[in-house]
Amino acid sequence: GVGAARAGNLTFMVGGVEQEFNAAKELLTCMGSNVIYCGEVGTGQAAKICNNMLLAISMIGTAEAMNLGIRL
């Protein structure tokens, strides 16, 4: 989020040509503490989507548990 961006603690999951990744890595490390090369073009987006899906599933489970606890 915004706080992580201000603190320079973002995570970048990057796909593309490895030489181009290495050229951009120095710039990305100015904004994030974790810069991960994922492979070919599109693999960074796929990793980010999987990460977001896992977070969403976790948040749904938390909300359902809270709702159940309140109702019981």
Catalytic (active site) residue 48 = yes
Which of these is catalytic: 24, 28, 48, 65?
Answer: 48
- Other beta carbons within 10 angstroms of residue 61's beta carbon come to 10
Q: Say how far apart CA 33 and CA 7 lie, in whole Å.
A: 9
What are the DSSP E strand ranges found in 1-72? 10-15, 32-39
Give the structural domain span for 40. 1-71
pTM across the whole model: 0.75
pLDDT in tens, 9-42: 899 999 999 999 999 999 999 889 999 999 999 9
Quick one: pLDDT band at residue 8, thresholds 50, 70, 90?
Answer: confident
Domain count, the chain: 1
